[in-house]
Structure 1
Amino acid sequence: MELKPHVRVLLVGASGGIGGALAEAFAGADLTTLSRSADGLDLTDEASVAAAARAISGPFDLIFDATGALEIAGHRPEKALARIDPAAMAAQFALNATGPALLLKHFGPKLKRQGRAVFATLSARVGSIGDNRLGGWIGYRAAKAALNQIVRTAAVEMTRRNPDSIVVALHPGTVRTALTRRYVGEAAMPPDVAAENLMRVLHALRPQHTGGFFDQAFKPIPW
């Protein structure tokens, strides 16, 4: 996807670490941004998502969801089953799974109905069931696994609407942001590098990749 002025991009979560870097990377396009801090968008409130969608006109070539959180309301990831907190787990699902589902519901129809049209959302490798060998982080893992299923299911439906549509979950790699500073070391990549990697993946995506889960090097991640 060449970022020419006529390419319309909607970036949700533009105020975050990765989102901010992506906003700079998308500078060559006709870019619209949304975020909680700048626009009051609350992905855990359907009325907020619906209102934001009504205020924006499509169609878009690309909708990129850069939202998500590892810690919510001060709850750190659980290291064991004994640490499960139902409220904290529900909050994980509300933001990291139901939130993107609401974006698909209300903003998905604003993608182009003909030609290449992409909906991409940030997932995480820890959401892979097949790749889970360490355990822990139960709520976050489960919410991202649910997101992956939502992406897979949405891809099937959206292909019926537009055979050239692409709906994917993307793992950005281990990125150094304010949200991850407790959990990553100095070896983690800065957001601008993550954004460059994600841009390369976006350029490489084709309709046959819809419903897939890919890392920052465009390698498939097991479900």
Structure 2
Amino acid sequence: MTAPEKGYRRSAGTERGEARRRDLLERVAADLAEHGLVDFSLRRAARAAGTTHKVLLYYFDGADDLLVQAVDRLRERRIARGLEAAAGAAAGETLAARVGALWPILTDPRFGHRVLEQSTGLAMYDPARYAKFGREATEQYLPALLSLCPPGWPEQRRREVAEMILATLRGLLLDRVTGGDEAGTEAGLRALLRALELEEGLR
């Protein structure tokens, strides 16, 4: 059995309890993907999960713990689907092509596009309470982006390029949500892909 995740409470050690906790988490994550973070509460989460807030408190350490885990789950889905797209035949073999294949997944509402960018905003608005949204996002995204870089590159170069990709994509996604300028963010993406082609020596 896999190791228990943070927030795993009195159900620890039982497969049935873990299955129940994961089911509740999936339901809450689906609600977040559809409705976003505005007015999130244990009672809203309980309605979405088809249970009571007391049941949620049995499995999670309060509203913040549940929210963090649900956002993490959405991000895991997004990354997994993005890596599948990047590995697809249509993605080609270049880093630029692989990053380009990520973009439709990153902007797809089914993978929590809006709520994941909202969580970044919370990290900036109230870092004492929500800094983990930014920190954990980096911890989840960077390994995926490093895996897209050419394996022959030195580790430092791969790290620097992955950090550049992450920072640029984050900025574009935030701008897309807050400014609504899809054409502008698409132009920014094309500029990033050209920069990656230069980095790879393709231009």
Range class of TM-score, shorter chain? 0.3 to 0.5
Higher strand share: 1
Bigger radius of gyration: 2
Higher helix share: 2
